[in-house]
Structure 1
């Protein structure tokens, strides 16, 4: 099978203005505030422990988000832990984000999950 382009690829002479706007926010915030504000606004339980770790649970208790700066995992670079359980309470999947990932990126990931609470893929 051979793939051919129908139109030649052209690099724009100058990127659109939107691509040039200030994106330093993608590099700077490593606090938990953007994520915690998002989850609190969605009715999640948010609890801090004595060690400055923060544990969040979705209203149905099937999603856990942990901001865990004072754990051995954080020492290895795993600051954020997200865990999703199936209907039987078994872990279906999990995701970690390191300390170099801005909180806004973690909040965006979670906002995408929250935006689609029901199964929307016809293949499942």
Structure 2
């Protein structure tokens, strides 16, 4: 049932938000934040002669590629992430474009690394 409530009166100046001074991730497009994170987790990291960086998880089931010198990058896909099942079949993939800051990609990967076991509250 809907009920009527008294109209709220907004204050003249809303309280200052902590987010007001925040500098949102907008401009880091190098591989360093991701490479540093993954190396720190024991991943293999290989750079090729074309400035591409290839990273593999210790169990070889997750691949992360920073691929600025590929046809995919020319189409807007700079980062490639691929996760495999135990049997080697690709479970899922994710690509991020050159407009996505490397720190955001590192955050995505940090979340992936933080949950090493399959668990979903809805299954």
User: What does residue 20 of structure 2 align with?
Assistant: 20
Shift, 1:34, TM fit = 0.4
Which stretch shows the higher mean deviation, 14-23 or 88-97?
14-23
Shift, 1:9, TM fit = 9.3
User: What does residue 56 of structure 2 align with?
Assistant: 57
Report how many residues are paired. 120
User: What does residue 118 of structure 2 align with?
Assistant: 119
Shift, 1:11, TM fit = 7.6
Counterparts in 2 of 1:11 and 1:31: CA distance versus 1, 3 Å: farther
The answer on 1:98 being equivalent to 2:97 is yes
Gaps of 5+ in 1: none
Shift, 1:23, TM fit = 1.3
Runs of 4+ in 1 over 6 A off after TM superposition: 7-12
User: What does residue 87 of structure 1 align with?
Assistant: 86
Report the Cα distance in structure 1 between the residues aligned to 2:44 and 2:23, rounded to whole angstroms: 31
Counterparts in 2 of 1:16 and 1:83: CA distance versus 1, 3 Å: farther
TM-score (normalised: structure 1): 0.86
Quote the RMSD (CA, aligned, Å): 2.5
Report the Cα distance in structure 2 between the residues aligned to 1:9 and 1:92, rounded to whole angstroms: 50
* SS of residue paired to 1:59: coil
Gaps of 5+ in 2: none
